[in-house]
Amino acid sequence: MDPLQVLPHRYPFLFIDRVTLCEPGKAAKGIKLVTRNEWFFPGHFPDQPIMPGVLIAEAIAQIAAFAAPQNAHPGKIGMIASMKEIQWRHPVVPGDCLELSFEVISSKGPFLKGRGKATVGERLVTSIAEMIIHSKSK
């Protein structure tokens, strides 16, 4: 599935290259190939490029859109309302293949609650115990 068909995000703020699993109302997975040419690396950090943790959290939020119940909120934009127990365990560097996943805990009205994680290979780099996405009108 093409992320551009679902997400309103565009370069330089689209952090999903490919969706690998889309189960509306249940879960979603996708990948981001992190290259040396990413716009954030020259300043974070010049001698040791590391993907900012908040952008990894944003990538998890973007993959959450593919786990939302089908046609739940057409014409609306999902925004992060809250995150609990977020942990950044390892840095993400150029050349990494960031694997993103989001699992739905519940969905009620304009709110989608779930848990997310990002891995590089078998290594857990970021975990979010609870993320709430609020669908709002454009």
Residues noted as catalytic: 44
* 8 Å CB contact between 128 and 86: yes
* Positive/negative CA dihedral, 100, 13, 49, 96: positive
Rounded alpha-carbon distances, angstroms, from residue 73 to 11, 78, 107, 137: 23, 9, 11, 9
Sole residue written with tokens 């857990």: 124
d(CA 73, CA 87): 29
Q: Determine if residue 95 is left, alpha or beta; phi over 0 gives left, psi from -120 to 50 gives alpha, anything else beta.
A: left
- Helix, strand, coil shares, percent, the chain, to 5: 15, 45, 40
